[in-house]
Structure 1
Amino acid sequence: MHTAYVSIRHGILALLSHGPRYGYQLRAEFESSTGSTWPLNIGQVYSTLSRLERDGLVVRGEADAEGRFVHRITEAGLDDVRRWFLTPVARADRPRDELAIKLAMAVTAPRVDVAEVVQSQRTATLRTLRDLTRLKADAPAMPDDPADRAWRLVLESMIFQAEAEVRWLDHCEAFVARAGAPPPPAVPDAVADRPKKGSRR
């Protein structure tokens, strides 16, 4: 099952564990809890609710006067979300790290200045870290609103990840500098044996 769907699915179940909600409420509360770092479109919400209903984790009630369907979590849904909260997230369950893949490819690619790639990313990451730190400084240290407390935890997670990324980029730069420039790619024998233009054999 796709990681993003699993996270949205359990996020919606967690919200429904507080009480019945309709689609636009779930979307607004999901984005509020994550500080809008993970925006959802309403189509994602309703397609996820449809799957949850199919799996017996959610039931849909009658439409209200405005045509909105309220969804309620079932006992099976409550059991499912409890297991999710208590199950550690494995590194293998998280999306692949595009930056790590990019740098791995840069190290082996010809005519790529790895130091330049690292510096470009470091500049962007430091800019992000500065913006996140400013957001944290402007937020109350201990918010009264549970949604604001949830957002602060997400914000601090993003700050820690950015700090770790900067340290890792520093390590990459030092490692590549110690290793020196990669040797030129080997020339296949068939190409090496081919006579050069204008030469005689």
Structure 2
Amino acid sequence: MSIRHGLLALLERGPMYGYQLRAAFEESTGATWPLNIGQVYTTLSRLERDGLVQPLPEHDGGQRPYEITASGRADLALWFATPISRTDRPRDELAIKLALALTTPGIDVRAVVQGQRTSTMRTLQELTRLKAREDKPGELPWRLVLDAMVFQAEAEVRWLDHCEASLVRHRPSAAPPPRPVEPLDAPEREEAGR
């Protein structure tokens, strides 16, 4: 999720200033995505530049609330209507790490997989404990985010199991033999010695 669209969605509720937006964002996502106040104000500046929000007159204490514009509502509606593509998401660092571990000399790939599985299982246990808390009707947004995190951790454990099984079946191809070094003739040896 982009911070840009998150802030637009929050401003659809009504005008807010930066600190209110930050608190509402973290509340809506169950604090799973902590937001730096600098990110909020930088994003608000860009949204204002793009005509998607506009500042209102300052309130007491110098706080300047922002409100969403008609263009901002149109942009937000388009975002909600457009499915998220896998290519829009960040690269999967774990998949890249394991692919590189397979081709890096001296790396115990099974140890890398096992270390990740242990970490992911700890995370899954922690998430499961959070899910066991008492349900409150107002917690649905947080519960949905938490469910997504649980499903992702479970999927990662299944994928790591698959990786481990693949490693057991994998027979590395024979590395090409090192190229023989041709002996240098006398003039080349002299040149190399200089």
Flag whether TM exceeds 0.5 (same fold): yes
Return the offset for 1:13. Answer: 0.0
Tell me which residue corresponds to 2:86.
Answer: 91
1: CA distance between counterparts of 2:50 and 2:66?
14
Structure 2 portions without partners, runs of 5+: 184-194
Does 2:109 align with 1:111? no
Secondary structure of 1:20's aligned partner = coil
Tell me which residue corresponds to 1:151.
Answer: 142
Query: What is the one-letter code of the residue matched to 1:173?
Result: E
1: CA distance between counterparts of 2:77 and 2:105?
50
List aligned pairs for 1:18-33, cutoff 5 A. Answer: 18-33=13-28
Determine if contact 1:110/1:184 at 8 Å carries over to the other structure: no
Return the offset for 1:65. Answer: 1.1
Tell me which residue corresponds to 1:186.
Answer: 176
Determine if contact 1:136/1:152 at 8 Å carries over to the other structure: yes
The size of the alignment, in residue pairs, is: 183
List aligned pairs for 1:18-167, cutoff 5 A. Answer: 18-140=13-135, 143-145=136-138, 148-167=139-158
Secondary structure of 2:56's aligned partner = strand
Does 2:167 align with 1:176? yes
Structure 1 portions without partners, runs of 5+: 1-5, 196-201
Question: Once superposed, what is the RMSD of the aligned Cα atoms?
Answer: 1.4
Query: What is the one-letter code of the residue matched to 1:157?
Result: A
Determine if contact 1:110/1:185 at 8 Å carries over to the other structure: no
For normalisation by structure 2, the TM-score amounts to: 0.90
Percent identity between matched residues is 61
Q: Deviations over 1:125-160 (max 9, x none)?
A: 0000000011001141xx322xx2111111000000
For normalisation by structure 1, the TM-score amounts to: 0.87
Return the offset for 1:40. Answer: 0.8
